[in-house]
Structure 1
Amino acid sequence: MLNTQYIKKIQKDLHEFAEIRLELIKNCGDALHISKRAIFDMHRGDLNEAKEKISKAEKILKNIYKKYSRNKKVFEEGSYKAAVEEYVEASLFYQFIKTGKIGKVISFSVESEVYLAGLCDVPGELYRYAIRSASEKDYEMVEKCVLGAEEIIGELIEFDFTKYLRVKFDQAKQARNKLEIVQYELSLRQSDRIA
């Protein structure tokens, strides 16, 4: 006959994970939203507020990581990966604005694919930041954004991406192409002033 004890254990395990998942979705949603707002703050030039929000998102994600470190299933959840990806994007973009460099995220363990997905989003932010910089006539920053995007693409092109990361990489290349157009148009305007 059917081992009902085993069936009940499966039911209990699934119910417990469903409760964990609901809490996870809420907390990850908060971290994702805070990271998005940090990026928005950076585009407005409010780096102090951006840093504060990045720290807040980091704290939420660190708590999740510590709380569920023994339950690896949690880290496969889409809500968790999306929140970490957005946090990585915000952190890397902040690093670029503050230092001109992009490094790793060291506050907690980030899966390589999630890091790469966040990195693929940075050229899009660099494009938006370059547009803002161009409107403020900060041509040096526009050039830094172009070079930053080119360096990211130059490194990522060595990967043989498939599926999700391939889509992200293609989006990064499109952002880099848009940056090149901005750079070209600025060079035309500057040459018109000289002539």
Structure 2
Amino acid sequence: MINKDFWRKINSNQADYDKFRRIIIGQSAQAQHLAKQAIFALHRDNMVEAEEKLAESQQLIQKMEIDFKQNQKLRNEPTWSSAVEEFAEAKLFLAYQKGEEVGEIVGVDIHADEYVGGLSDFTGELHRQAVLLSSKDEFEKVKKIAEEISDIIHLLLEYNLGGYLRTKFDQAKKNLNKIEYILYDINMKKK
């Protein structure tokens, strides 16, 4: 009654998927960690280290894209998506720190939700940068960052974000509120 050959094939396919999934979890964690290190290097104004870490992160992500191209189910693995989102955030922050336009990221397949998540998280890095700049009395730069975050919020308002991305968007709005408070505090202290 039961087709044993069919079920052996199903079992074999699932075993392969599980094996590859474990590899992806490890490689994704490494790629994500490198992207985080790049972000922290940027906060320390270490552009060389940031670019090196991002290049390593990109190589790992590209390797996964090649190695697992035949199984798109693996591409939807949450750890892979998290690594790509962190990579996007780091690339956006790097572009910003270099004075470049913040926009398309080439070289890695980034899904729209990963990009939006990375863009939302990027506002957190801008907020952190604003705090560092305000401690150095560089208030004009803080104002510019507030404008940049406001522009990002305005852009994201065009989308009907739900679930996870809605949470990310709400965090981005909180980052704007925090910078607005910093600016308010600066203005009050000047009076």
Shorter-chain TM range is over 0.9
Structure 2: gaps of 5 or more residues: none
Residue 186 of structure 1 and its aligned partner are, at CA, apart by 1.9
Q: CA deviation at 1:100?
A: 5.2
Conserved? CA contact 1:36–1:86, under 8 Å: yes
Matching residue of 1:26: 26
Q: Write out per-residue CA displacement over residues 129-155 of structure 1, whole angstroms, 9 at most, x where no aligned residue.
A: 100011122223212211110110010
**Separation in structure 2 between the aligned mates of residue 101 and residue 178 of structure 1, nearest angstrom:** 24
2-side partners of 1:66 and 1:87: how far apart?
17
The 10-residue stretch of structure 1 (156-165 or 64-73) with the greater mean CA deviation from structure 2: 64-73
Tell me the matched-pair count: 191
| Equivalences for residues 170-189 of structure 1 within 5 A | 170-189=170-189
Question: How far is 1:24 from its partner?
Answer: 0.5
**Bigger Cα displacement from structure 2, 50-59 vs 95-104:** 95-104
Q: Is the 1:100–1:144 contact (alpha carbons within 8 Å) kept by the matching residues of 2?
A: no
The one-character-per-residue Cα deviations of 1:41-89 (angstroms, maximum 9, x if unpaired) are 1111212111111111011101111221221011100010000000000
Q: After superposition, give the CA deviation of every residue in 1:18-41 in whole Å (9 maximum; x if it has no partner).
A: 110111010000000111111111
Percentage of pairs with the same residue:
32
Q: Decide whether the 8 Å contact of 1:41 with 1:49 is kept in 2.
A: yes
1:118 maps to 118
1:5-154 paired onto structure 2 within 5 Å: 5-99=5-99, 101-154=101-154
TM-score, structure 2 normalization: 0.96
Distance 1:7 1:73 in 2: 20
TM-align CA RMSD: 1.1
In structure 1, distance between residues paired with 2:72 and 2:134: 45
Q: What SS does the corresponding residue of 1:94 show, helix, strand or coil?
A: helix
